[in-house]
Amino acid sequence: MRIVLASASPRRRELLEQIGLKFEVSVSNVPEQISAGEPWHMVEELSSQKAEAVFKQMEGFRSDTAEETDLQEEVLVVGADTVVSAEGSILGKPADGEDAAGMLAMLSGRSHEVYTGVTLIYRSVSGQIQRKTFYERTEVVFYPMSRAEIECYVSTGDCMDKAGAYGIQGFCARYIKEIRGDYNNVVGLPVGRLYQEAKEWLGE
């Protein structure tokens, strides 16, 4: 089976490799459009947009030749999106260091939720298409962070490409007090749930 990850995230690549899946990466640059207000609806919607865009690229027309590409193989496209929800606000990736510091100050000494939406699009050799979309929620509790600690972490640059301005698997682990739920979900992809949802297609 051809497995395609519709994400440029290195953390998601590492997690898929961790569970033994062989895959390729294809990222769509379509603009994200959000109509849902709740974080779980938002991540499901965004993961679906990413997966659908990559799937359509694979099944549609090659822009360089305008020739139709007819898939004659099993394909599984995986789209994902992660956000942090804190104090009623949705925190995506910070725009700059100041934005990151503000997010971390909001998380300091408090609990928040991490939501990851996943969309799976499976196409059989015969052309049958099936879709699944789901989300996982994990609660994370931070120890209090001083201003100096926040500035120190921001200076590492580790926070700049991550929802909520932190990576639980990196330097910021020193400030994590507790998690309730799937750790991998906070990293960026609930691979246990993903595998269970896709197992019928993977044939394992």
Catalytic positions, please?
A: 81
Which of 84, 131, 136 has its CA nearest to residue 110? Answer: 84
Name, in order, each residue with C-beta under 8 angstroms of 12's C-beta and a sequence gap of 6 or more. Answer: 5, 80, 188, 189
What single DSSP character describes residue 60? S
List the Cα angle 57/60/66 in 5-degree steps: 105
- In the numeric block, the tokens 């849902």 are attached to 36
User: What residues contact 111, with CB distance under 8 A and at least 6 apart?
Assistant: 139, 140, 141, 142
CA distance 24 to 8: 11
Q: CA dihedral in degrees (186, 198, 3, 83; nearest 10)?
A: -20
For residue 182, give the 3-state DSSP assignment: coil
Burial zone of 195 (CB within 10 Å; 0-12 exposed, 13-18 middle, 19+ buried)? middle
